[in-house]
Structure 1
Amino acid sequence: MSGHHKSSAARVVVGVSGSPGSLTALARAVEESRRRGAQLWPVLAWEPPGGELGSRRSPVSAGQVPRWELLARERLLTALRDVFGSTDTGVPGAAVTVRGAAGLALVRIAGREDDVIVVGAGRRNRLLRALSPSVGRYCLAHAGCPVLAVPPSPLQATLTAMRRRNTLRLPLDAGSLLREPGTVPPGA
């Protein structure tokens, strides 16, 4: 026995936003948690619309904070259900929502050397990187523990490519898929 309390067990802290990249990271974080015998801490960081500065300027938005917290919690629970089929990850730990910037929140929570941060490393273009700095880059620059950046799943890249090719978004005729070859559709 190591003599560690439950609260001092190593943790795998994973950033969750609900994006496909974060869901891939969440699935990988469970594997990492099991491999290390560590607790799993899925973390969804949120900020008020318009950011913290905007919420300080607008007293009306301050009254919305409980609603935004609830929406963040619902988004986290939805992400857990999307990956695991329920909110049970199958490993010990705690799912938490935190008000603040994602990178900063992950680094603060994963404050011990034996913690690990897991983030999705989505393929983003230069414009998006300039407008929204990478959570993974922030964690790599500031964390005092290892950071695992998980690339997008190959399936996600395939789905993205398919969406780009089908720019007209033509609906499939489900009826044509169900008819026997060579039969005439009803009403034709």
Structure 2
Amino acid sequence: MSGYDTCTSGRVVVGVSGSLGSVTALRRAATEARRRETELWPVLAWEPPGGELAARRSPAPPQLVEEWQGLARERLLGVLDEVFGEAGPPGVPLHGRVVRATPGLALVETADREEDILVVGAGRRGWHRVLSGRVARYCLAHAHCPVLAVPPSPLEEALTSAHRRNIWHLPLDVRRLPC
């Protein structure tokens, strides 16, 4: 016996927002949870419009806060259904969470065990990276567990490129798009 246990007590925690990057991260996290034979914890973070500072200055009625929480829950369920719906459940215990916090903080606080794995979308490449990737950078800097930053899928990059070309009315050769 080597002293290593193939089944850990840790969880695979993944940030979910509905973006293509988060869907790619969710699929990768499900694969990792199956490989480790552990639980999958998709987390969707939400904040009131204007952020927490605005909510402290001018608190919303409790019914409105409950509605925002419900909308966040619906969004998480929609993403999970979109990713796992037809294929069925991911094959591991699934514990979805909706957390009122910034995404980075919600993920780091959920993945609070050293044996957890935190999976995040790595964001875009190039000059867009300056504006995106804040959540991944926050998690890499503050997590107490390993962080797996999942790069964008080739399809996401191709769609972003096609969208950019469409905005600028440039010709697009569809034969060069990945299948």
Is TM > 0.5 for Structure 1 vs Structure 2? yes
Larger Rg: 1
Distance 1:145 1:163, change over 3 A: same
Report deviation, 1:68.
0.6
Distance 1:95 1:60, change over 3 A: closer
Corresponding residue number in structure 2 for 1:15: 15
SS at match of 2:120: strand
Q: Where has structure 1 moved over 6 Å in runs of 4 or more?
A: none
Corresponding residue number in structure 1 for 2:177: none
Bigger shift: residues 91-100 or 55-64: 55-64
User: How many aligned positions are there?
Assistant: 161
Bigger shift: residues 81-90 or 155-164: 81-90
Corresponding residue number in structure 2 for 1:105: 106
Distance (whole Å) between structure 1 residues aligned to residue 51 and residue 129 of structure 2: 17
Distance (whole Å) between structure 1 residues aligned to residue 106 and residue 27 of structure 2: 20
Corresponding residue number in structure 2 for 1:52: 52
Distance (whole Å) between structure 2 residues aligned to residue 127 and residue 156 of structure 1: 14
Distance (whole Å) between structure 2 residues aligned to residue 35 and residue 57 of structure 1: 46
Corresponding residue number in structure 2 for 1:176: none
Distance 1:146 1:60, change over 3 A: closer
Distance (whole Å) between structure 2 residues aligned to residue 52 and residue 71 of structure 1: 17
Report deviation, 1:81.
1.4
Report deviation, 1:166.
2.0
Deviations 1:111-168 (A, max 9, x none): 11110000001116657745x7611111111111100000011011111111122237
Percent identity between the aligned chains?
Answer: 60
Distance 1:67 1:38, change over 3 A: same
Is 2:62 the partner of 1:78?
Answer: no
Corresponding residue number in structure 2 for 1:27: 27
Decide whether the 8 Å contact of 2:43 with 2:97 is kept in 1. yes
Report deviation, 1:9.
2.8
Decide whether the 8 Å contact of 1:56 with 1:62 is kept in 2. no
Corresponding residue number in structure 2 for 1:161: 161
Distance (whole Å) between structure 2 residues aligned to residue 161 and residue 116 of structure 1: 31
Decide whether the 8 Å contact of 2:34 with 2:91 is kept in 1. no
Corresponding residue number in structure 2 for 1:140: 140
Q: Which ranges in structure 1 are unaligned for 5 or more consecutive residues? A: 1-7, 170-188
Decide whether the 8 Å contact of 1:80 with 1:89 is kept in 2. no
Report deviation, 1:95.
0.4
